[in-house]
Amino acid sequence: MTVLLVRENREYLVEPGETLETDLGIIEVPREPTAGDVVESHLGETFRVQALRGPDLFEHFERTGAPMMPRDIGLVIGHTGASAGDRVLDAGTGTGVLAAYLGRVGAAVTTYERDPDFADVARENMAMADVDEQVDIRTGDLTEQLDDLAGESFDVLTLDTEDAATVVERAPALLVRGGFLAVYSPFVESTRDVVAAAREVGLTDIETFETIQREMDFDDRGSRPSTAGVGHTGYLMFARRP
C-alpha cells in the first residue's frame, strides 16, 4: 500500500518496508504504516505518514498528458451520481485520474486508452491508487469496440476523446434507463457536436457548463481573486437516457 511521508512542503511516495534516502537522513519505512504515524530519519528528522486520497493521486500519478482537474471530476460525479455498485464505461483514460476517483467511490470502471504505453502507465497508477481491481483498462479505440459491447449496459458513460460524438450516437444502446452521459472537451466546437448528437438520439436533461475556478488571495492589504493561473479548464456536457 503506497503512502506519503510528509514534512512541511515535502512529500515522498513510499512503499511499506522501503528504505528512503533523503538529504534529511535515511528513513526506514514501517512494514505496516498507519496514517498519522511519525517516522524519524537516522538524523532525527521527523515525517508524518499520510494516506493517499484523490488530490494526492492527482499530484503524484505519473502523467501521460494533462489529466482532468479535480474540480471537473467533482462535477462529473455530482451530475451523474456515480456511486458504489455502478458500472461506468469510460473512453480516453490518459493518466487515469477520473477512473481512479470513480473506482474509489466504488464504481466498476471499464476504460479505453488508444496508446498502449499510456495504458501501461495508467495501470501502474491504478495499482498505486489501490483500485486496480475496480478499474479495467483496455487498450484500443472505444469507437472500434462498440460492437463487442453489444448487450452490455452501463450506469454512466464518460468520454474525454476527440471523437466523442461518435460514441454519443450509440449512448442509448450503452446506457441503462436513467443512466447518465458526461463528456469533457477543452474546445467548444466539439462540445457543440456532442450536444447535437445527444439531441439527435433522444437523450434528455442536456446541460453544458464551462468550468471556471479562481483561487482567493488573502493578505494584510485585503482579499481578492488570485491573478495567477488559468481559471478555465474546459466544457462539460451532461445528458441522460430517458
Query: Cell match 462535477: residue?
Result: 75
Beta strands in 190-231 (DSSP E): 204-212, 216-219, 222-225
Q: Where in the chain is the domain with CATH 3.40.50.150?
A: 56-240
For residue 230, the model assigns a pLDDT of: 64
Q: Which fold has domain 3-51?
A: Vcp-like ATPase; Chain A, domain 2 (3.10.330)
Q: Where in the chain is the domain with CATH 3.10.330?
A: 3-51
* Mean pLDDT in consecutive groups of 10 residues from the start of the chain, 242 residues: 93 94 95 94 96 94 93 96 98 97 98 97 97 97 92 96 96 98 96 98 97 89 83 92 98
Q: How far is Cα 169 from Cα 107, in angstroms, rounded to an integer? A: 24
For residue 213, the model assigns a pLDDT of: 85
Helix (H, G, I), strand (E, B) or coil at 90: strand
pLDDT in tens, 199-213: 999 999 999 999 888
For residue 229, the model assigns a pLDDT of: 67
Strand partners, 158: 90, 182
Sorted by sequence, the CB contacts under 8 Å of residue 63 that are 6+ apart come out as 95
Helix (H, G, I), strand (E, B) or coil at 70: helix
For residue 236, the model assigns a pLDDT of: 97
pTM: 0.91
Q: Which fold has domain 56-240?
A: Rossmann fold (3.40.50)
Cα 128 from chain centroid (whole Å)? 13
What count of residues does the chain have? 242
For residue 150, the model assigns a pLDDT of: 86
For residue 225, the model assigns a pLDDT of: 87
Q: Decide: residue 108, CB within 10 A, 0-12 exposed, 13-18 middle, 19+ buried.
A: middle
Q: How far is Cα 114 from Cα 90, in angstroms, rounded to an integer? A: 12
What does the radius of gyration of the chain's CA atoms come to, in whole angstroms?
21
Strand partners, 3: 14, 51
pLDDT in tens, 116-141: 999 999 999 999 999 999 999 999 99
**Would you say 146 and 138 are in contact if contact means Cβ atoms under 8 Å apart?**
no
**Would you say 107 and 82 are in contact if contact means Cβ atoms under 8 Å apart?**
yes
For residue 215, the model assigns a pLDDT of: 87
Cβ count near 19 (within 10 Å)? 9
**Would you say 86 and 156 are in contact if contact means Cβ atoms under 8 Å apart?**
yes
pLDDT in tens, 157-184: 999 999 999 999 999 999 999 999 999 9
